[in-house]
């Protein structure tokens, strides 16, 4: 029996393999309504707290992996614990002004002096320390409570790091236990004809 060429049918029409491959479907854009309704709250962290904020972020990520959940749900649980202790008076946030953060404002006054030469600005050299930002999805009420605690004296990022660090230390010492609870997600089904 003679051997048969497995690709004989392809030699007749060279475009046949291309015709077999289906065309890519036009992707419909995902519905981002949930993302718009549950936006993440971002907090810029002062440079003095960058290392502590990175440690807090890493600890929250580790807990999220351990409990098989998102970092936002772990951060929301830790933040609610800390805010409950603030409301109960077990945790007091006392703000001390930092002299290094003072800003000077400029005013003007008329003068009869020699003309002043304006020096051209030098290019700022960027340092390796980029801004550290913590972003978590917790409710707007949590965000307003944090802003209220910060007031005008403390940066909001500083309060976030302090409260999350407080809750993480309580968890490490055994005063806070995270437990998983069942969460039921339902869909609404409607009949359309």
Instruction: Read off the pLDDT of residues 149-193 as tens digits, 9 standing for 90 and up.
Output: 888 778 889 999 999 999 998 888 888 888 887 766 666 666 665
Q: Which residue would you say has higher pLDDT here, 116 or 176?
A: 176
Q: How far is CA 115 from CA 88, 109, 122, 150, in A?
A: 62, 14, 22, 45
The pLDDT score that the predictor gives to residue 99 is 64
- Mean per-residue pLDDT of the chain: 78
In this predicted model, what pLDDT tens digit does every residue of 58-70 receive, in sequence order? 999 988 888 888 8
CA gyration radius for the chain?
A: 29
The pLDDT score that the predictor gives to residue 114 is 65
Report the chain's terminal Cα–Cα distance, integer Å: 60
pTM of the model: 0.65
CA proximity to 164, closest of 183, 152, 182, 149? 149
The mean pLDDT value for 35-45 works out to: 84
CA proximity to 157, closest of 83, 4, 46, 56? 46
Q: In 10 A of CB 63, how many CB atoms?
A: 19
Q: Which two tokens stand for residue 166?
A: 């407080």
């Amino acid at each position: 029996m003679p051997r048969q060429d497995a690709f004989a049918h392809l030699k007749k029409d060279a475009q046949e393999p291309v015709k077999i491959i289906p065309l890519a479907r036009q992707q419909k854009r995902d519905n981002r309504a949930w993302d718009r309704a549950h936006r993440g709250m971002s907090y810029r962290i002062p440079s003095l707290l960058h290392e502590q904020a990175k440690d807090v972020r890493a600890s929250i990520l580790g807990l999220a992996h351990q409990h098989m959940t998102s970092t936002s749900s772990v951060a929301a649980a830790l933040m609610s614990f800390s805010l409950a202790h603030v409301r109960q008076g077990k945790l007091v946030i006392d703000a001390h002004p930092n002299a290094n953060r003072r800003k000077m404002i400029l005013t003007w006054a008329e003068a009869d002096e020699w003309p002043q030469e304006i020096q051209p600005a030098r290019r700022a050299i960027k340092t390796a320390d980029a801004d550290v930002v913590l972003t978590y999805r917790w409710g707007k009420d949590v965000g307003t409570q944090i802003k209220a605690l910060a007031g005008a004296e403390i940066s909001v990022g500083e309060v976030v790091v302090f409260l999350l660090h407080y809750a993480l230390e309580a968890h490490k010492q055994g005063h806070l236990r995270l437990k998983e609870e069942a969460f039921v997600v339902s869909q609404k089904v409607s009949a359309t004809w």
